[in-house]
Structure 1
Amino acid sequence: MEYKFRKAQKDDASQIWDILQQAIDRRKEDGSKQWQDGYPNPDVVKNDIEKGVGFVLTDRDKIVGYSAVLINDEPAYAGIEGKWITNDDFVVVHRVAVSSDYIGQGLSAQILKHIQSYALDNNIRSIKADTNFDNPAMMKIFEKLGYVYCGEVFFRGSARRAYEKVLE
Structure 2
Amino acid sequence: MNLETQLRKAEITDKDVIWDILQQAIERRRKDGSTQWQQGYPNINTVESDIEKGFGFVMTVGGEIAVYTALILNDEPAYSTIEGAWLSNGEFVVVHRVAVDEKFAGQGMTKKLFDHIEDFTKSHGIQSIKVDTNFDNVAMLKILESKGYTYCGEVYLAGGIRKAFEKIII
Alignment match, 2:88: 86
Residue 10 of structure 2: aligned partner = 8
Shift of 1:62: 1.5
Hey, what does 1:114 align to over in structure 2? 116
Q: Identity of aligned pairs, percent?
A: 54
Q: For 2:64 and 2:75, how far apart are their aligned partners in 1? A: 29
Residues 118-164 of structure 1: CA deviation (Å, up to 9, x unaligned): 11111012000000001010000000000000000001331000000
Provide structure 2 residue ranges, at least 5 long, that are not aligned to the other structure: none
| Aligned counterpart, 2:30 | 28
Partner in structure 1 of residue 149 of structure 2: 147
Question: Paired residue for 1:73, among 65, 75, 82?
Answer: 75
Question: What's 2:42 paired with?
Answer: 40
Displacement of 1:24 after TM fit?
A: 0.3
**Match of residue 163 from structure 1:** 165
Amino acid at match of 1:26: R
Q: In the TM superposition, what is the alpha-carbon distance from 1:3 to its structure 2 partner?
A: 1.4
**Partners of 2:90 and 2:63 in 1: how far apart?**
36
- Cα distance in 2 between the residues matched to 1:13 and 1:73: 23
SS for the counterpart of 2:80 is helix
TM-aligned CA deviation for residue 60 of structure 1: 2.4
User: Secondary structure at the residue paired with 1:66?
Assistant: strand
Q: Distance between the aligned counterparts of 2:4 and 2:145, measured in 1?
A: 26
Amino acid at match of 2:33: G
* One-letter amino acid of the structure 2 residue matched with residue 71 of structure 1: L
C-alpha distance in 1, partners of 2:93/2:159?
23
Q: Which residue identity is paired with 1:96?
A: V
Following TM superposition, the consecutive aligned residue runs of length 4 or more in structure 1 with deviations greater than 6 angstroms are none
Equivalent residue pairs, number: 168
Distance 1:122 1:48 in 2: 19
- 1:40 is aligned with what amino acid? P
TM-score, normalised on structure 2? 0.97
Structure 2 SS opposite 1:18: helix
User: What corresponds to 1:132 in structure 2?
Assistant: 134
**Number of the residue aligned with 1:19:** 21
Q: Where do 5+ consecutive residues of structure 1 fail to align? A: none
TM-score, normalising length: structure 1: 0.98
In the other structure, the counterpart of 1:54 is 56
SS of match in other structure, 1:139: helix
Q: What is the letter of the counterpart of residue 95 of structure 1?
A: R
Task: Tell me the equivalent position of 2:100.
Answer: 98
Give the drift of 1:59. 1.6
